[in-house]
Structure formats: structure tokens, C-alpha cells
Amino acid sequence: MELYQLKYFLYAAKYENISKAAQALRVSQPSISRAVASLEKELQVELFERQGKRILLTRAGLTFREQISPILWKLEGLGDEMKKVQKGGDTIRLNAMSVVPLLSGIIKKFREEEPDAAFVVIDQKESTDWHLCILSAGPGMSYQDGHELLSEEVFLGASSGTWLGEKDEISLRDVNNENFILLPRGRVLRNLADTRFREHHFIPQFSMECNNTHLVRSLVSDQVGITLWPEYSWGKRPDVHMVRITEPGFNRSVFLLRQKSGEIPPVAERFAQFVEDYMRTLEHEK
């Protein structure tokens, strides 16, 4: 998923017409069409409904636009942030692979204390170009050099408007006929699902695999299916109900790693301490 594809998608959604979007961006019509097609292939959903020359957002398209619009607005201000960095501002390179919904509030509170702190935030499993990395660990996984920020329970996430919205806890056998939406193999939550489902002799009714966690949460909200929902990492939503799974083993840990290949700047160490204190308070409030 490339940034230009997201930009092309937003322009297509704005003008509801490929030709007009291409004119506004000063690119060719096929460029817009290819970008949209690539996104649809990667997300495994249709983003637009074609009506002649007019294109209208599908429900999935509306959800996707809602999720990516604020991200691109943030990127619009990236130039100013980089100028600040070049002038000598304190910069924290953070590889955020878990608890992303919590990070906005954490960063906001930290910058209230240190307004000159600048952030470069990425989400790249293979990258080593970071000062701090936040990531989760599933069954049998741990990080000896990492600090465990929290241990979180993993629930079943279902739309509040379904019959599961009235349940506090449930056994896997009771959701045998529900459609599951899962992340791809290799992701921590998928590994947890595969391991625990196998241990408890449960074969889910698999309806969709999606690599975009924002879209998975929205699909659950729209009653497309249910999924495994981490207690803190994915955040709470009024339209999604978290149901405790009675079978044991549905939990995972979140770790904070510090870069070992070189010294991290003092501001990054202060942010690490801030995150650790924040997560400790979060667990105490359980």
C-alpha cells in the first residue's frame, strides 16, 4: 500500500469520477484506475461501485476513507516537522507495531510536557532504523532485551448490535457458525488464533483474511464478522462488544524494545520511561 495510491483513492472518492480526479491530480486516468485496483486487491474488498462514468464509495470504501483521511492530513504537515528536526529539534524514531490506538493519547500527553519533541513513527517489521520499538508477543514468544509493558487479554470482538453484544463470556463452540475475520498468517494475533483454536479443537468458519487492522475493526462494527480483539491494543469502540472467551490461553504481551546498536537520544529514553509509566497505570486501573 503506497501513499500515492491512498491519495489517488481520496481524489477519486472526492470527485466520484476517475477523469475529474486525474485532471485534479494532473495524472493519467489509468494511473488512478490502477491505484484503486491495487488497493482493492490488497484489501480484498471493493472500494467503489461503478455506475457508468460515476463511481460511488461502497460501505467498505466509506470506512477506508474515514480511516486514512486523518493519516494523510498528518503527512501533509510532515514537511514542517522535518524542518523542525533539521533545526536541531529532539526526534524520537518509533517503530509502532502494537497498541497503536493508545499511542495518539500517549504522544499528546508527552508533548504537553516536552513540546519540542518530534516523532518519526513507522510500522515496519523488518526495519532497524528506530530508537524504540513497541511490539506484541504471542504464544511461546518473549524478548529478553525488552521491557514488558503489559499483558492483555484477547477477547472476541463482535458488533454490539448482534446477539453476541449481550454476552459477557462465551465458549468457542458457541460461535461455531459465526464468520471469522482474521489477520494473515505470520501476524501475532493470527498465530495466537491458530495455536489456541488447534489446542481447543475448534475449526472457525473463516470468511475473510485482511492485513489492515483498521479495516478489520470496521468490518466487525458493520456486522460482517467477528474477530480476536486485544483488550488494549485495539482500543474500545461503542459499536463493538468484547466477549471473554472461556477457553484458556487467549492473552498476549506487549513489549518495548530499545535500540541496542547505538545510543538513543535522551528524549527517546524519557519517552520510553513515560510509556512504561503510562502502561503501568493502565494495568493498575483494570
Over residues 93-139, the pLDDT tens digits come to 999 988 888 888 899 999 999 998 999 998 888 888 899 999 998 87
* Residues in CB range of 250: below 8 A, 6 or more apart: 153, 154, 155, 192, 196, 228
Rounded to 5 degrees, what are φ and ψ at 22? -65, -40
Residue 102 and residue 105: Cα distance in Å, rounded? 6
- The alpha-helical segments, DSSP class H, found in 172-239 are 188-199, 213-221
Cell of 237: 469502540
Average pLDDT, the chain: 88
Q: Delineate the domains of the chain, giving CATH numbers in brackets.
A: 3-70 (1.10.10.10), 78-137+253-284 (3.40.190.10), 153-252 (3.40.190.290)
Answer whether residue 269 shows pLDDT above 70. Answer: yes
Please state, in angstroms and as integers, the Cα–Cα distance from residue 267 to each residue in 66, 80, 194, following that order. Answer: 33, 20, 39
Pairing of β 205-209 and β 179-182: parallel
User: Binning pLDDT at 50, 70 and 90, where does residue 82 land?
Assistant: low
Give the model's confidence band at 88: pLDDT under 50 very low, under 70 low, under 90 confident, else very high.
Answer: very low
- pLDDT score of 188 more than 70: yes
Q: What is the per-residue pLDDT for 110?
A: 95
Give the predicted TM-score (pTM) of the model. 0.64
